[in-house]
Amino acid sequence: MRGIATILYGWLAWERRGRANRVLFVLSLSLAAFVTLAFGWASLNPDPGNAGRYLVFYFVWGLCALGVLLGMAEYKTSPLRKGRERGHLFILLYIGALLIVTRALNMVLYYGP
């Protein structure tokens, strides 16, 4: 387990990140995790035609859009970008894909008659 933690710590370049970059990274990662868990739950418990749930998950989708903005800010301040290292776009690409998938899921899961 210690080897995996060392690899992850090195890949994140945590010691080279500034305070602002760390905060932006953690915020964008937290929003991505929250949106993933929320839509995972919604996928397991669909309720077609429920307008209330549709609006709540539309708000959650908006949080995902906010995550994209935070991810872009994190990318601009990233030491990985400046060093041209691999892996620095992972969180931004994940949140971008999540934005597309969750919008489609919201339309499919809660489309009413």
pLDDT, tens digit (0-9, with 9 covering 90-100), for 27-54: 988 999 999 999 899 889 888 888 888 8
pTM over 0.85: no
Give yes or no for a contact between 88 and 75, defined as CB atoms under 8 angstroms apart. Answer: yes
Q: Is the pLDDT of residue 62 over 80?
A: yes
The percentage of the chain sitting over the pLDDT mark of 90, rounded to a whole number, equals: 12
What tokens appear for 6 in the block? 């060392």
Q: Which residues contact 89 (CB under 8 A, 6 or more apart)?
A: 75
Give the residue, 99 or 7, on which the prediction is more confident: 99
Q: Which amino acid is at 54?
A: Y
On average, the pLDDT of the chain sits at 83
Long-range contacts of 46-51 (CB under 8 A, 24+ apart): 46/109, 46/110, 47/109, 47/110, 48/109, 48/110, 48/111, 48/112, 48/113, 49/110, 49/111, 49/112, 49/113, 50/110, 50/112, 51/110, 51/112
When pLDDT is averaged across residues 57-61 and rounded to a whole number, the result is 88
How far, in Å, CA of 37 to CA of 15, rounded?
Answer: 29
When pLDDT is averaged across residues 17-34 and rounded to a whole number, the result is 88
Q: Is the pLDDT of residue 59 over 80?
A: yes
Q: What confidence score (pLDDT) does residue 50 get? A: 84
Q: Which amino acid is at 93?
A: L
- Confidence class of residue 1 from pLDDT cuts 50, 70 and 90? low
